[in-house]
Chains A and B, each alone.
Chain A
């Protein structure tokens, strides 16, 4: 037997086993796409528009071609001019981006072509030598300006509105009249950036003669990248291989094929098959990857005196930038998450996803939920205050319950929202603190959330596949299409495989996210991997186990149905007697008489109903997760600075496959949420360029700003989940900004409705409050 079996890793589900890829990471051996290098590798560089909006008149590459060291230059004329987009299935009209633009550019940084040369300096010089003539067009940066009649027309969309999403249930007008208290609020959330530490980077290679391409990439969704490459390069899926290396963070920013991925492959072809590496600089990362939508929320809601949330109306305007990317589903998610959280019957919110001449907005961790979380959870506190009700009581009165169907036909089975709230307020001692610490300028605030944990958001199916291969020596391979981007999915899936197969986790090796050798999987997004890929993996491990047991049963003339593998032993489930250990069983499988290879397969597609995005109706996800978060803050009235004293997070994750990884994901969400609340604000200049597009000026949270955090895991055991698990990774980020804003109001009585919450905004609000109080007493 070749494998060292660690007995402590038997029955690994629910245990904080070490990361399967941990040793490689801490010793610097792990290879990221950033580290991929080949002999004779060329360096590629994108040719970008200097104008926010212009027609391309003429491209002359002749001077650049003559530069020594330049090996290939591509522009749109080398392409098939096929558009790509990320919401092709649900919103086909939003497929609006060319791999390389040929007629028009729509933001500073828009890709027109690419150069491959022997080194970085030569490639950069060649880009400068490409002569492009433009007819500069009027442009628009501000999202509300872009919606006005007569604004520059960026695409063929009326008033630059790419998507209008009117979500309407019940009778909102009548309900507003019946309400005892109605209020309207406007919230503003800025653009932000995933800012993964590993930039977008890829190496593309075209195989001469066989006409195949390979892309080594830093991707959250290698199979989606393959789809888009095959489409834009007009190739068969099995001629395109995307190999996901270790990924240095994604956070939504690495979900799509970018023109750089396409260009690396096409440049390699034009350079006769030499590999081409394109690595974004940090400035390019901010300019030309994907950013979070800035959103403007206007909410008008009505409640009854007893605290019943009767109706919510309003509109959401999302600044989409130059192309659609994931925008349509982001705005849908920003509107429809509320139905998982609150039992609301009368609802009318219209979403507008708007083009501007700025960098492209797409997916970012939270997928619209961070913006809506701030707006809605702030608004809920204001509604509770308006009727003199404790915000926790108000929420408890209106939250969704287990086993219910929401107004838009989402089917919630297990629902730990009430328990999340109860446990969080208990841990934070809410009742002692709320409204009681104003003399210390201290306050406490709550935010709650829910999220899809296995949604169909990509194409008609959202399936994942896994293969579990057991070798002669009892060592086990898990092949999964799931793309571990650092969250630890390879570890969690290996735990699931080991648990189901009945063996120690130390037997498992995991290969993931290689489109040529692993089964299909849509990728790491929408907190879907533990649930969807986990189910596929459990099924594959079960299949492998049944194969082993059928051989044992055949040899010993037993009924295979009576056998199981538990803790490394084949047992008879009728009398719990041991039959043989796992290694002996494998010897039998690969013996002279049997010689049957153990290859288990599993596929899983979540049980959902089609979502009609015109109405917002449908059960979008196979599982839903819930969340309550509390922040306690202290405000310095002299400086406007807000210090977080502590945060509590209670999360219904179904079942924690690896509690340590779950905690790390929650803590990381809180860190990112704290960053978005206080620091992160991607701004644009008059040309629509990032005004703070580097790590010196776009400020990320650091260790020093981290408050103590307490995580509380609520295990509701989803009957559909692998060992009861739901997904996680995004929900804890959704209520953070609102919990903090609500705590600030409790502390010093001012309401900040615009992120980020900076000391000057707090000071200004305090001054305004003081003045209005003076007026009242006068």
Chain B
């Protein structure tokens, strides 16, 4: 039995050694918001956050993230309130077919959590591993930048509350958060 902590929720799972985090999320837990377009780390659509960092779930073995804080696209909105990134993607028209969007948002979240005021170059660099075939990059960049501004506004509040919620869920293992 392995314990995975996904979106602040504990899951006790029988993992096979070769199973990727992507397979576990999609096939075992029904969290199909995380996509893949290549299964070989080229497209970025499978991006999730591990302890606040963007990782590719298609090349991450599930057993390697045991006890660590995994956040997927399903874990961002709190009840009816969208995360500032999700709201900005809607407001600035960054959504087209949407297949890349969960990965884009998770890659951007890892950036903005650390640096809510990124430069264009920093956003480019953070999203360089994420393909959007609709070519929606200008609006995606705009949305990420605008979301950063929103996130900075309530950063103080989030710094107080969020780690507390996480630490409750992570009682089994001492987490290395937000490195």
| Cα–Cα, bound, A296→B57 (Å) | 42
Q: Is A609 an interface residue (CB 8 A)?
A: no
* In the complex with contacts A27-B86, A197-B45, A694-B38, A486-B97 CB distance below 8 A: yes
What is the minimal beta-carbon distance from A253 to any residue of chain B, in angstroms?
10
Find chain A residues with CB under 8 A from B26 CB. Answer: 35
Q: Is A233 an interface residue (CB 8 A)?
A: no
| Cα–Cα, bound, A702→B34 (Å) | 20
Per-residue CB proximity of A529-550 to B under 8 Å, as 1/0?
0000000000000000000000
Q: Do B39 and A486 have beta carbons less than 8 Å apart?
A: no
| Cα–Cα, bound, A475→B74 (Å) | 28
Find chain B residues with CB under 8 A from A670 CB. Answer: 135
Q: Do A29 and B33 have beta carbons less than 8 Å apart?
A: yes
From B72, B76, B82, B93, give the contact of A664 (CB < 8 A).
B93
Give B123's nearest chain A residue, CB to CB.
A703
Q: Is A19 an interface residue (CB 8 A)?
A: yes
From A26, A194, A486, give the contact of B90 (CB < 8 A).
A26
Q: Do A32 and B86 have beta carbons less than 8 Å apart?
A: no
Per-residue CB proximity of A694-712 to B under 8 Å, as 1/0?
1110001111101001000
* In the complex with contacts A28-B102, A282-B39, A700-B131 CB distance below 8 A: yes
Give A281's nearest chain B residue, CB to CB.
B39
Q: Is B73 an interface residue (CB 8 A)?
A: yes
Find chain A residues with CB under 8 A from B133 CB. Answer: 194-197, 249, 251, 672, 700
Find chain B residues with CB under 8 A from A198 CB. Answer: 35, 37, 97, 99
What is the minimal beta-carbon distance from A756 to any residue of chain B, in angstroms?
16
Q: Do B95 and A19 have beta carbons less than 8 Å apart?
A: yes
Q: Do A28 and B139 have beta carbons less than 8 Å apart?
A: no
For residues 61 through 80 of chain B, which have their beta carbon under 8 Å from a beta carbon of chain A?
72-74, 76-77
Q: Is B91 an interface residue (CB 8 A)?
A: yes
| Cα–Cα, bound, A706→B128 (Å) | 11
Q: Do A197 and B99 have beta carbons less than 8 Å apart?
A: yes
| Cα–Cα, bound, A663→B133 (Å) | 15
Find chain B residues with CB under 8 A from A27 CB. Answer: 33, 73-74, 76-77, 82, 86
Q: Is B8 an interface residue (CB 8 A)?
A: no
Q: Do A26 and B40 have beta carbons less than 8 Å apart?
A: no
Q: Do B134 and A695 have beta carbons less than 8 Å apart?
A: no
What is the minimal beta-carbon distance from A23 to any residue of chain B, in angstroms?
7
| Cα–Cα, bound, A27→B135 (Å) | 20
Q: Do B134 and A703 have beta carbons less than 8 Å apart?
A: no
What is the minimal beta-carbon distance from B153 to any residue of chain A, in angstroms?
19
Q: Is B11 an interface residue (CB 8 A)?
A: no
Find chain B residues with CB under 8 A from A28 CB. Answer: 31-34, 72-74, 102
Per-residue CB proximity of A640-670 to B under 8 Å, as 1/0?
0000000000000000000011011101111
| Cα–Cα, bound, A291→B34 (Å) | 27
Q: Do B99 and A26 have beta carbons less than 8 Å apart?
A: no
Find chain B residues with CB under 8 A from A18 CB. Answer: 90-91
From A26, A485, A694, give the contact of B89 (CB < 8 A).
A26
Find chain B residues with CB under 8 A from A195 CB. Answer: 133
Q: Is B100 an interface residue (CB 8 A)?
A: yes
Find chain B residues with CB under 8 A from A703 CB. Answer: 123-124, 127-128, 130, 132, 137, 140-141
Q: Do B128 and A486 have beta carbons less than 8 Å apart?
A: no
| Cα–Cα, bound, A665→B95 (Å) | 11
Q: Do A25 and B40 have beta carbons less than 8 Å apart?
A: no
Q: Is A246 an interface residue (CB 8 A)?
A: yes
For residues 102 through 149 of chain B, which have their beta carbon under 8 Å from a beta carbon of chain A?
102, 105, 123-125, 127-128, 130-141
Per-residue CB proximity of A661-689 to B under 8 Å, as 1/0?
10111011111100100000000000000
Find chain A residues with CB under 8 A from B94 CB. Answer: 664
Q: Is B56 an interface residue (CB 8 A)?
A: no
| Cα–Cα, bound, A702→B90 (Å) | 21
Q: Is B19 an interface residue (CB 8 A)?
A: no
Q: Is B175 an interface residue (CB 8 A)?
A: no
Q: Do B90 and A22 have beta carbons less than 8 Å apart?
A: yes
| Cα–Cα, bound, A695→B162 (Å) | 37
Q: Is B54 an interface residue (CB 8 A)?
A: no
Q: Do B95 and A22 have beta carbons less than 8 Å apart?
A: yes
Find chain A residues with CB under 8 A from B163 CB. Answer: none
Q: Is A21 an interface residue (CB 8 A)?
A: yes
Q: Do A26 and B101 have beta carbons less than 8 Å apart?
A: yes
Per-residue CB proximity of A3-41 to B under 8 Å, as 1/0?
000000000000010110111011111111011010000
Q: Do B98 and A21 have beta carbons less than 8 Å apart?
A: yes
Q: Do A247 and B97 have beta carbons less than 8 Å apart?
A: yes
Q: Do B38 and A282 have beta carbons less than 8 Å apart?
A: yes
Q: Is B43 an interface residue (CB 8 A)?
A: yes
| Cα–Cα, bound, A675→B31 (Å) | 32
Listed A/B pairs (30) with beta-carbon separation below 8 Å:
A18-B90, A18-B91, A23-B90, A25-B101, A26-B89, A32-B35, A37-B30, A197-B100, A199-B37, A246-B97, A248-B37, A282-B37, A487-B97, A487-B134, A663-B93, A663-B139, A664-B93, A667-B137, A667-B139, A669-B135, A671-B135, A671-B136, A672-B133, A675-B135, A694-B38, A695-B131, A696-B40, A696-B42, A700-B131, A702-B127
Q: 16 other contacts beyond A249-B96, A709-B138, with CB at 8 A cut-off?
A: A26-B101, A27-B77, A27-B82, A28-B31, A28-B32, A35-B32, A198-B37, A488-B96, A667-B139, A671-B137, A695-B43, A700-B131, A702-B127, A703-B123, A703-B124, A704-B125
